[in-house]
A and B are shown apart, each in its own frame.
Chain A
Amino acid sequence: MVRHRDEAIDAMLEPFYYQKHITEKIDTARDKWNLLPAFLKVKGLIKQHIDSFNYFLETDLKQIVKANQKVCSDVDQKFWLEYTDIRVLRPTRVDEEIQPHGGSTVTPHECRLRDMTYAAPIVVDIKYRRGSTIVKRKDIQIGRMPIMLRSRNCHLKGKNESELACMNECSVDPGGYFIVRGQEKVILVQEQLSKNRVIVESFKGVTQASVTSSTHERKSKTYVLIKKDRIFVKHNILVEDVPIVIVLKAMGIQSDQEILQLVAGADKVYQDQFLINFEEVMKDDIQTQQQALEYIGSRVKIMRRPVGQYHGRNYQQEAIEALSSIIITHVPVQGMNFRPKAIYIAYMVKRVLMAIDDPKLVDDRDYVGNKRLELAGQMLSLLFEDLFKKFNNDFKARVDKVLKKANRTNELDAYEHLKLHSNHITSGMDRAIATGSWSVKRFKMERAGISHVLSRLSYVSALGMLTRISSQFEKTRKVSGPRALQPSQFGMLCPSDTPEGEQCGLVKNLALMTHITTDDDEDPVRKIVFILGAEDISCSTGVEMYRDGAYIIFINGTPIATTMQPKRFLTGFRKFRRMGRISEFVSVYINHHQAAVHIATDEGRVCRPLIIVEKCRSRVTQRHLESMRKGMMDFDDFLSRGLVEYLDVNEENDSNIALYETNIQAHTTHLEIEPFTILGAVAGLIPFPHHNQSPRNTYQCAMGKQAIGAIGYNQQVRMDSLLYLMVYPQKPLVKTRTIELIQYDKLPAGQNASVAVMSYSGYDIEDALVLNKASCDRGFGRCQVFKKTNIPLSRNINGSLDIINAGLLDLTKEQHKKLDWDGLIMKGEKVTKGDIYALKQTPLNTTPSTLLRPEGASRTIQYKNAHPSYKLPVGAVIDQVALTSSESDITNIKILTRQTRRPELGDKFSSRHGQKGVVGLIAEQADMPFSQNGVCPDIIMNPHGFPSRMTVGKMLELIAGKSGVMTGALQYGTAFLKPRDPGVQSVVEGYGSELIKHGFHYEGKDMLTCGITGEVIPSYVFTGPIYYQKLKHMVQDKMHARATGPIALLTRQPTEGRARDGGLRLGEMERDCLIAYGASQLLRERLMLSSDQHTCDVCAECGLIGYSGWCQVCESSAGVRKMVLPYAAKLLIQELGSMNVRTSLKLVEEFPASKME
């Protein structure tokens, strides 16, 4: 096995052994967490995406093609075409020859730079009929599939660090996203209610069991609900709700007794509850299956049929069709055997009856076990199947068209036609990922916002985006349920990482050790169920099913067998799984309330690994950890040896999991690998998060994504439209295990600042910070901002091209001084507002017609100047100039400008504890307080930030950091970290004694001397290093003022917004203040004179607006007066006029003549 790809993680493994030597003893209680890096080594941080995509490429794609294998013609019955195989190759450029096994040199980075799509050809093998022969062809391209980075088809797969560097790729970058049209796109994880599972709900007094069936062909939702004590089946295809007894009778269960037993077993209470349903049916006099089918058939909505094939309705036929393939589609009806489906519906009824009897048995929709996470692979498979069907339809239509022609000169070769449509699939996939709107016609699905541009603000923000889960439903509903923290999220979803505001609680993030399952085959599982001695359910009666002690076994929500020994079955099943006879992701759990054993093999379940405990002993022992350290075992070995297993939420709920080895009791089944894995990657950056008030951790999760730092090892060759980099990023002094695991210490975003917590100068109120000027001089908080400008040389409709005309270069012109001989600006040149980037020209004539050209006019194209220029008020330096050509052969000149910024007043900084603040003052070093050793703080923070925020973690970070500085070691602030010495209460004690040793106070409080007066400050000041992040919000990007400037075309009012050099709005509320104050002249000035003052001629006679002293209506100039009014008012009058509303102005003398006398 090639393992070189894991160099980075291997190296990471080292410090985890507490600097112990190989010969040292391993303490399982403390070192079992070593499994975590081992897990990540095998799984990777965002393996869910990659696994899902790989599954799609390997399995799902083939299944889709298998389901749509054959294309036949309606015209010529003899014609057929069959797909025998489908494969996705490795990514290529569009214009490259397809080589089935050959390598293309295309790299993801090339795609980013050239605005291409990182995609690979999809090829099929076909077999079809040409005339009388059967032709086989191989490797026919039917489209191109965007390839997820680091998936099995990606060129980056299996490359080591130096190989990646040669490809301009960062080795820390996790992959898991696509590059479409040069943009990095992530398909977010979508959270949904689980499919094919019965969910019992009680909503406004109606208790109902519903199931969303989903197969490749169809999606439908079926309800069994209770209305006025009677039970009905409800489905979209049915015009009205159908009584349950009729449905069951239609499915061939004609005897009332059998129905009652299937529905209620031998339970008298349920039987009594159900009896009324029979009475209802008696009224309609429906006894036989035929009658029932007739009844249902007459209530089936008319389906669209091909025109001309209407034969009148056959109710029985329609009912059978509806029951077999539309209602509860996921339970297959083979032949006319409705029994499994009848049992399923009866089971739904039973659940409803149970929920009525005991309202506690209603399911919780928010329970994580009832949810499924849809990943990139599934989303793409939905899309691909739709496109593939459309592709086949188009192909068929084309073939039909050709075959219809009576006299064809040559034999139809389907291959020729197949090739023609390949663009459809390519552009369909491209468009969906590029825009994020998924439209799947067969499910009538229209969803927007599935994919997003990968945020490259910092490494963490990219990582956070890849672990993000967005919720599909209930965005506007004002219920707290879906937003609340669910206890079942424990270990699966991060409790801290969620945005504030609108999306709060709906957008979630995966925890560190979660895995999301892909689909597993049901059949082998079913076999094992029967091997374990369960009885087939279709052979048992209702009484047998529901007798005391009998448990029904469900596979993916469908009852298939019963057993009398559920416990034995369960242990047996688990044993098989631990032996590796069944996939490790198949879960099994028992539900005593429903007397059911559930087995799940479906995709999208969240699960996580846990250590198995047997006989009160952890199965992972010292020996195993030792051999793992020696590299003899990896995580997969732990799995295959049955030491560790994956549990999904449902099974986890059925287990007894000990947090620490000391907590193991008689009934313990599993042991947690490491408690801090309940947090996600982003929340894992916080040191001592368990000491903070919980909202603070949530705030930090939002802010960590805005911190400026390093983006990736390839940050210098990237050309993003906006990129922030820190000049001297540092790894945090107080780190966490998560920081090491996600390699944040390799791409950090922040600096260790020496902080004094004291008040200083009054410019530090409301969380403002005081910065040391000397620190800023030396590079603290310095960052760079890269902005990209595109200069496309586009092709016009008449085929003429934009050009760069270097011939215009005239170095005597001041404007051209910064240009190179090629007419483009030079790298390294400083630019200020108005500087020309390139001598671009566009053709004067871009109209398509050439006929308009006057006779004798020269054929040379006339050009006009269209020189793009630097627009921002603050200058920059040209960092890079690149000429690229895209897939559509358009030359694009990309110019990257760079600004280097030192911190200034108003820049935003934040620690890792949700404590943000702006710079309020940059003080001289001489004015800063200094300690006994002469150390000046870099930052002074106001102590009022602490009491109300309760961020004790920040104080611990300071103390830990300070002791780390003194001892020269990086300290750990991992969540839930226990002190190593069992006799010590808390880790702080250790840090405190370390501080005392080095001549500091044990609480970290130092005596400082005031730099201004030179006297000792009369209180001790809490001083030490804290990791500070510089956030992307900088004053330079926000400051804005305007005296005069551009106005909007329509209203003639000042434009809005900084980007358009807009005015500052005096809004309604400000207006109210001025009115209340009585400042009428100020009001007049602000709202009219300084805005859209307009002078016009108004006719006093008719009240309409005239012009040039003339009233067109009165045809006189007698009453025309000059008037000043806001242009918007004049506009309103005219717009009303256009709607036939006459608005006349009544004029009154301002200074009436009578009064004057």
Chain B
Amino acid sequence: MRSRSIRTGRHALGAVAGGLALTLVLAACGSSPSSKPQPSAVSHAPAIPAGPIKVGALFSLTGAFAQTGLITQATYQAIIAHLNAAGGIADHQVQLVALNDQGNPAVAVSQAERLVADHVAAVVYPGLAITDRQTVPVFMKSHIPVVTLAPSDQWANGKEWPYYFDAYPLNKPTMATLVAFGKARGITKLGVLGDSTPFSQSLMADLVPSARQAHLPIVATAAYTPTSTDMTVQLQQLRSAGANGIALLAETGMTHVHQDLLAMGWHPTILTTADAFFDGYSSLGALAPNTYANCGIGVKPGQALPPAVSTLMQTVAAKIHITIPGNSGIIFINNTMLILAYAIEHAHSLNGNAIASAIESIHGVSFTAPQYSYTFTASNHDGWTANAVHMCRLVPLGPQGLPILATP
């Protein structure tokens, strides 16, 4: 899913970028030279000025979403440090300008304007789903590219949001995968549980048509608030309606949901978001064997990671001093940074239009590893290939804590 946090799998590690290093990586990943943007398209853009390249980010470092914000910031810092160690972007070091939006839309808009005033070249994290609808228009108006992991499909419309680029799988195919997987696992009546956040509501909106299309009836829908500490009533609603599977579409409160399910002695099949690798992971208990999360990136049982990915994961995990289960977000964040690096180097400029044009020219280019390729067009700004959405087991984990792909 796409709630925007490292742990959900929407932020990833940065690395081997910058001038020659990036070229080598792309070559090693099998990118086709013909897939690169044509410099002539952006040849009139001003050159990159001396000094570091500033990239902006709005994290929720205090307030209800602080835990997400702190870990996301730490991950971006680690990935950018990794990128700088490899030469930065076009021989310029990258400077992360990170501001605290407090998870508050009003504060977030004010901080977004500060980033604009600070002349950031791009924004790599415009805030959580609860604030980005307010902040993104600020960046669009100033022609500042936003290259990130979007929490909602709406941003993928290149015509409407010409400077927004999404490196994460879209919600619609993700929800379709989740429904198909659940049906194959034997779910005949689905209950849907969310946490009332915009992210959750967005997923619910995408799940309903997918379930209808798959002829999987949704027998009940319930929601709690991010500050709730007991979800017994909501779970009782789903159980009373006859649900034998739950789509848990939330980014908060997983611990309480698990606790309450265990207290009720109810162990349904749970289909959830990648947030489950973070929130509530340690409280799964007897629910673990029947709990599955979407995963844009997973590994097959027994599969080894490509060396570049393994190194990346180890480097970032060491820097943030924390091991996050299912941390495919590191790879996704790294992809966003490398997409931005690629675009700036091909545009030879920090001009927003030039960077956007360069990203739109990316066709079948791989970044962190060969299997993670991207294609952008002028109208489709979600570069992740739509069919690369999977479901993974939460337990056990694969190498470097990456999730293991599940089969129905």
A and B interact = no
